[in-house]
Structure 1
Amino acid sequence: MTLKKSFSLSDRKDLDSQTEEEFNKFSKGSVDKTNNTAQLVKQLKDKSLPLIVTTIQKMSKAIQNNAEALDQYKTDKVVFIIDECHRSQFGDMHRIVRQYFNNAQYFGFTGTPRFEENQSQDGRSTADIFGRCLHTYLIKDAIHDGNVLGFSVDYINTIKAQNIDTETDELVEGINTDEVWLSDQRVELIARHITENHDKYTRNRQYSAILTVQSIPALVKYYDTFKKISKDYEHPLKVAGVFSYAANEERNEGEVDEAHSREKLEEVIKDYNDNFGTNFATDTFREYFNHISKNVKKGVKDNKIDVLIVVNMFLTGFDSKVLNTLYVDKNLKYHDLIQAYSRTNRVEKETKPFLKK
Structure 2
Amino acid sequence: MANASQTILTVAGVDKTYPGAARPALDRISFSVGAGEFFSILGPSGSGKTTLLRMIAGFERPDIGRILMDGEDITHVPPFRRDVRTVFQSYALFPHMSVLENVAYPLRMAGARKAERLAKARECLDLVSMGDFAARLPHQLSGGQRQRIALARAIVCRPRILLLDEPLGALDLRLRQQMQHMLVSLQRELGIAFVYVTHDQGEALSMSDRVAVMSDGRIAQLGTPREIYFDPSSEFVAQFVGRSNLLPIDCVTQGGALTALLDGQPLPGVVAPRSGPARMAIRFECVRLAADDHPADGACSVPGTVEDVLFLGNALEVNVRCGGLNIIAAVPAAGGEGYVPGRPVRVLFDAGNATVFHG
TM tier relative to shorter chain = under 0.3
Higher relative contact order (CA 8 A, sep 6+): 1
Q: TM-score, normalised by structure 2?
A: 0.24
Q: More helix by proportion, 1 or 2? A: 1
Q: TM-score, normalised by structure 1?
A: 0.24
Q: More strand by proportion, 1 or 2? A: 2
